[in-house]
């Protein structure tokens, strides 16, 4: 069956005027976040109450939060420990009395410091080039807050506070705003850059407290968990629901982190302040991060099917004819995506639906049809293509004109649109 007729543009999926920061969606920004309205509409259409949703690249947990609001159990995976922390905090109910007691205790501490105009001494974490990214006063403020948070006993409350701290760290650092990669602001700006650390922190805590209260009022009593399983490496998350997951809603990376969205660089300073593992390694661990020269690994369960048979193969060859290295990098990404889809398909129920929100990026003037690759890979596992909805990206936090990679010849112009690929399992398929 031709996939062309099943692909159509539908502007009702743009959600131009939508509030994307309702409930706990307000907690923390992150590059290329899915907007909640997409997950909400897909869950309404393809989900079932008390069923199980999987997001193998969950980021800050947008689809998991929506699953909880709808009444589906959910499991998310991500290799980035910072977003696992954020997603966990967004999903975890906390009795408001408990939260308010701790927030009041924190506020009293902040007032005392402000009143005395003296920042108490606290251990400074061992972070490379710390004074390149933060003024010496800032370092002392952050170290004080870090020490205070370390003493918060209730894990859920501590995570809640850490998430506000994490977003604040990036804002009060010398990083340029509006960029995902770590670049320092111009020298003439540094001198006058004196952010009000406590003020920003309080604002974020208040905003997130309101978001959590709204979430707790609406969420259903469901199970949720966030895992570090890397499906591209064949790792499968737990729990594994009996009968398999019913629905996948996910937005995978657009390509390798080095040349598309640098999630690791975006997270690094916060992760280092919080003391999370692998703070400097995330982009290398992400899909397509290890391009060793492999270009023909099997991507499907049938050993003879290789990347060379897939809808991206001829485009990779076009790239190879002008730039061998870029072709290897691009191949590495699709090999990982193919492996990941194999792992995901193993965990799905006989009637599962998958919804992958993907962008077709342009490399060396060649547009790579990632949407067709996803359909191809799932079709190896008993799925059929149901539809591909093309939407504009009016409000996703993405660079529109210039590639964040600054790689000549690669622009993000194709990222003004993205594709919501929907496939459903139609034939009985043995997974295990
Ligand atoms: C487009 S973002 C997802 C954003 C998410 N939908 C949200 O709303 O926050 C893609 C995510 O994939 C993660 N990622 C990259 N490679 C991965 C892998 N092999 N396994 C799991 N997650 C991976 C990145 O860390 C990033 O958080």
**Encoded tokens for 325:** 């290295």
Percent of the chain clearing pLDDT 90 (strictly above): 78
Statement: the pTM of the whole predicted model exceeds 0.85: yes
- Both 156 and 10 in a single domain? no
- Both 289 and 417 in a single domain? yes
Average pLDDT, the chain: 90
For the CA of 230, the closest atom of ligand 1 is: 20
The sign one gets for the Cα dihedral 203, 168, 192, 198 is: positive
In this predicted structure, what is the pLDDT of residue 396?
A: 54
Question: 54 CB under 6 A from ligand 1?
Answer: no
In this predicted structure, what is the pLDDT of residue 404?
A: 41
Last residue in a domain, options 173, 196, 217: 217
In this predicted structure, what is the pLDDT of residue 302?
A: 39
Ligand 1: distance of its center to the CA of 84 in Å?
Answer: 10
CA 385/CA 322 separation, integer angstroms: 33
pLDDT band of residue 1 (cuts 50, 70, 90) is low
- Both 85 and 100 in a single domain? no
In this predicted structure, what is the pLDDT of residue 431?
A: 52
Q: Is 430 contained in some domain?
A: no
Question: 227 CB under 6 A from ligand 1?
Answer: no
Ligand 1: distance of its center to the CA of 1 in Å?
Answer: 31
Supply the CATH number for residue 405's domain.
3.40.50.150
- Both 254 and 336 in a single domain? yes
- Both 249 and 304 in a single domain? yes
Give the residue with greater pLDDT, 285 vs 66. 66
Question: 283 CB under 6 A from ligand 1?
Answer: no
pLDDT band of residue 306 (cuts 50, 70, 90) is low
**Residue 58 reports pLDDT greater than 80:** yes
Ligand 1: distance of its center to the CA of 114 in Å?
Answer: 39
Q: Is 243 contained in some domain?
A: yes
Question: 244 CB under 6 A from ligand 1?
Answer: no
Q: Please compute the mean of the pLDDT values over residues 37-45 and round it to a whole number.
A: 98
Percent of the chain clearing pLDDT 70 (strictly above): 89
CB atoms within 10 A of CB 79: 25
Determine the structural domain holding residue 188 and report its residue range.
96-217
H or E stretch at 355 = strand 348-358
CA distances (Å), 202 to each of 106, 109, 211, 312, 368, in order? 9, 12, 14, 48, 44
Q: 406: exposed, middle or buried (C-beta count within 10 Å: 0-12, 13-18, 19+)?
A: exposed
**Residue 430 reports pLDDT greater than 90:** no
For the CA of 80, the closest atom of ligand 1 is: 25
CA atoms within 13 A on the CB side of 324: 3
- Both 128 and 70 in a single domain? no
How would DSSP label each residue in 135-172? -HHHHHHHHHHHHHHHT---HHHHHHHHHHHHHHHHHH
Ligand 1: distance of its center to the CA of 90 in Å?
Answer: 16
Q: Which of 31-35, 178-182, 255-259 has the highest mean pLDDT?
A: 31-35
For the CA of 231, the closest atom of ligand 1 is: 20
CA 269/CA 285 separation, integer angstroms: 17
- Both 18 and 159 in a single domain? no
In this predicted structure, what is the pLDDT of residue 409?
A: 39
Q: Is 431 contained in some domain?
A: no
Q: Is 302 contained in some domain?
A: yes
The residue whose CB lies within 8 Å of the most ligand 1 atoms, and thus the one to mutate among 22, 32, 59, 259, is 59
| Gyration radius (Cα) of the chain, Å | 22
pLDDT band of residue 293 (cuts 50, 70, 90) is very low
User: Could you report the per-residue pLDDT of 200-231, keeping only the tens digit for each?
Assistant: 999 999 999 999 999 999 999 999 999 999 99
In this predicted structure, what is the pLDDT of residue 305?
A: 54
CA 171 vs. chain centroid, Å, equals: 19
CA distances (Å), 16 to each of 177, 348, 389, in order? 23, 33, 16
Domain count, the chain: 2
User: Could you report the per-residue pLDDT of 247-286, keeping only the tens digit for each?
Assistant: 999 999 998 877 788 899 999 999 999 999 999 999 888 9
Question: 251 CB under 6 A from ligand 1?
Answer: yes
For the CA of 289, the closest atom of ligand 1 is: 16
**Residue 67 reports pLDDT greater than 80:** yes
Give the residue with greater pLDDT, 215 vs 288. 215
In this predicted structure, what is the pLDDT of residue 397?
A: 53
- Both 171 and 206 in a single domain? yes
Among the listed residues 28, 73, 32, the one whose alpha carbon sits nearest the alpha carbon of residue 212: 28
- Both 49 and 136 in a single domain? no
- Both 140 and 213 in a single domain? yes
Region of poorest pLDDT, from 19-23, 264-268, 408-412, 424-428: 408-412
Ligand 1: distance of its center to the CA of 253 in Å?
Answer: 6
Q: Is 337 contained in some domain?
A: yes
Q: Please compute the mean of the pLDDT values over residues 281-296 and round it to a whole number.
A: 71
Across 251-347, the runs of DSSP E, i.e. the strands, are none
**Residue 295 reports pLDDT greater than 50:** no
In this predicted structure, what is the pLDDT of residue 279?
A: 92
Q: Please compute the mean of the pLDDT values over residues 225-242 and round it to a whole number.
A: 95
Length of the chain: 432
In this predicted structure, what is the pLDDT of residue 405?
A: 40
Q: Is 61 contained in some domain?
A: yes
Q: Please compute the mean of the pLDDT values over residues 61-76 and round it to a whole number.
A: 98
Question: 30 CB under 6 A from ligand 1?
Answer: yes
- Residue closest by Cα to atom 27 of ligand 1: 59
- Both 72 and 123 in a single domain? no
CA 396/CA 15 separation, integer angstroms: 11
Q: Is 26 contained in some domain?
A: yes
Region of poorest pLDDT, from 206-220, 367-381, 400-414: 400-414
H or E stretch at 70 = helix 62-70
- Both 368 and 268 in a single domain? yes
The residue whose CB lies within 8 Å of the most ligand 1 atoms, and thus the one to mutate among 21, 286, 342, 393, is 286
Question: 59 CB under 6 A from ligand 1?
Answer: yes
Q: No. of H helices and E strands in the chain? A: 14, 10
Last residue in a domain, options 185, 217, 249: 217
Last residue in a domain, options 217, 233, 256: 217
Residue 316 phi/psi, 5-degree rounding, is -65, -40
In this predicted structure, what is the pLDDT of residue 406?
A: 40
Cβ atoms of 387 and 353 within 8 Å: the answer is no
Question: 343 CB under 6 A from ligand 1?
Answer: no
Q: Is 432 contained in some domain?
A: no
């Amino acid at each position: 069956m031709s996939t062309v007729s099943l692909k159509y543009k539908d502007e009702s999926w743009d959600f131009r005027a939508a509030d994307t920061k309702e409930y706990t969606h307000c907690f923390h920004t992150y590059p290329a976040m899915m907007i909640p309205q997409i997950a909400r509409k897909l869950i309404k259409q393809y989900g079932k109450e008390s069923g199980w949703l999987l997001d193998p690249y969950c980021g800050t947990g947008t689809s998991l939060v929506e699953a909880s609001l709808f009444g589906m159990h959910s499991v998310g995976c991500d290799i980035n420990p910072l977003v696992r922390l954020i997603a966990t905090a967004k999903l975890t109910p906390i009795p408001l009395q408990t939260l308010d007691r701790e927030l009041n205790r924190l506020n009293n501490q902040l007032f005392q410091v402000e009143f005395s105009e003296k920042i108490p001494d606290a251990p400074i974490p061992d972070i490379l080039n710390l004074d390149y990214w933060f003024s010496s006063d800032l370092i002392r403020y952050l170290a004080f807050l870090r020490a205070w948070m370390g003493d918060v006993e209730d894990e859920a409350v501590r995570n809640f506070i850490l998430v506000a701290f994490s977003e604040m760290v990036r804002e009060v650092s010398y990083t340029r705003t509006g960029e995902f990669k770590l670049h320092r602001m111009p020298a003439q700006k540094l001198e006058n850059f004196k952010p009000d650390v406590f003020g920003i922190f309080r604002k974020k805590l208040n905003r997130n407290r309101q978001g959590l209260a709204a979430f707790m009022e609406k969420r259903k009593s469901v199970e949720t968990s966030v895992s570090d399983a890397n499906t591209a490496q064949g790792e499968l998350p737990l729990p594994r629901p009996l009968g398999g997951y019913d629905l996948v809603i996910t937005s995978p990376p657009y390509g390798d982190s080095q040349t598309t969205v640098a999630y690791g660089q975006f997270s690094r300073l916060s992760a280092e302040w919080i003391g999370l593992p692998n703070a400097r390694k995330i982009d290398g661990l992400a899909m397509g991060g290890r391009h060793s020269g492999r270009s023909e690994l099997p991507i499907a369960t049938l050993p003879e099917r290789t990347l060379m048979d897939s809808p991206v193969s001829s485009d990779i060859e076009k790239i190879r004819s002008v730039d061998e290295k870029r072709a290897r990098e691009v191949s590495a990404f699709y090999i990982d995506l193919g492996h990941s889809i194999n792992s995901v398909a193993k965990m799905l129920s006989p009637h599962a639906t998958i919804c992958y929100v993907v962008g077709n990026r342009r490399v060396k003037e060649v547009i790579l049809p990632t949407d067709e690759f996803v359909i191809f890979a799932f079709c190896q596992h008993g799925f059929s293509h149901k539809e591909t909805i093309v939407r504009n990206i009016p409000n996703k936090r993405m660079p529109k004109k210039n590639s964040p990679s600054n790689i000549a010849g690669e622009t993000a112009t194709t990222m003004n649109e993205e594709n919501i690929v929907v496939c459903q399992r139609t034939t009985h398929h043995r997974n295990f």
